[in-house]
Amino acid sequence: MAKILPILASLSTIFFLILSLSTVLAIGEDHGFGRSLDRKLLGYKKEKLSHFQFYWHDILSGRNPSSVPVIKPPQNTSTFGFLTMIDNPLTLGPNMSSKLVGKAQGFYAGASQEEVSLLMVMNFAFIEGKYNGSTITVLGRNPVFHSVREMPVIGGSGLFRFSRGYAQAKTHTFDPKTGDAVVEYNVYVLHY
């Protein structure tokens, strides 16, 4: 029995050290109000790349517009300074009769004095399939008369927590009389 006690004491010490080390690795370094975490503890395993394609309907005309001007530009000759809130439908195809997969909610504003370039701030809020309730957040510059515009994906919610990537916008149709537009979006997102 005398020989077993030192072995048990050594095993207890080793067990305590392993337990302490695993706790530090799992919880991370504590800085009082924040700490590092192992993403696997939150269920985030391997990052994947997803591609989404849909059509964004910017409707300024009619009885029920999805885009509403909030601030008009200070001068009639420029778009600089205007602000429009949006709740735009996102559909699978370019026609409004196509399947609705979500809404683009946020705003866009005239952010350039030299060209028509918008500051886009919006969430793609999905309502379809496994993405229902999840969002992808876009914040970036949109020079609307360029054939393809690229804006960064800066985050998201639900299935898109910790996401990053980019969105490419390409105008499908634009009506200069009403201001209505249909824009094809291709969104590439890295997420867990």
CATH number at residue 58: 2.40.480.10
Establish if 165 belongs to a structural domain: yes
Establish if 35 belongs to a structural domain: no
pLDDT at 109 > cutoff 60: yes
Establish if 141 belongs to a structural domain: yes
Number of domains in the chain: 1
Across 37-41, 92-96, 131-135, 186-190, least confident range: 37-41
Establish if 20 belongs to a structural domain: no
The whole-number pLDDT of residue 102 equals 98
The whole-number pLDDT of residue 2 equals 58
pLDDT above 70 covers a percentage of the chain that reads 83
Establish if 30 belongs to a structural domain: no
Tell me how far CA of residue 4 lies from CA of 8, 16, 17, in angstroms. 6, 18, 20
pLDDT at 173 > cutoff 60: yes
The whole-number pLDDT of residue 21 equals 46
- Identify the CA nearest to 131 among candidates 97, 90, 171: 90
For 65-96, write each residue's pLDDT tens digit. Answer: 999 999 988 776 678 999 999 999 999 999 99
Which residue range is the domain that position 142 belongs to?
Answer: 45-191
Establish if 22 belongs to a structural domain: no
Establish if 92 belongs to a structural domain: yes
The whole-number pLDDT of residue 155 equals 98
Establish if 146 belongs to a structural domain: yes
pLDDT band at residue 18, thresholds of 50, 70 and 90?
A: low
- pTM higher than 0.85, yes or no? no
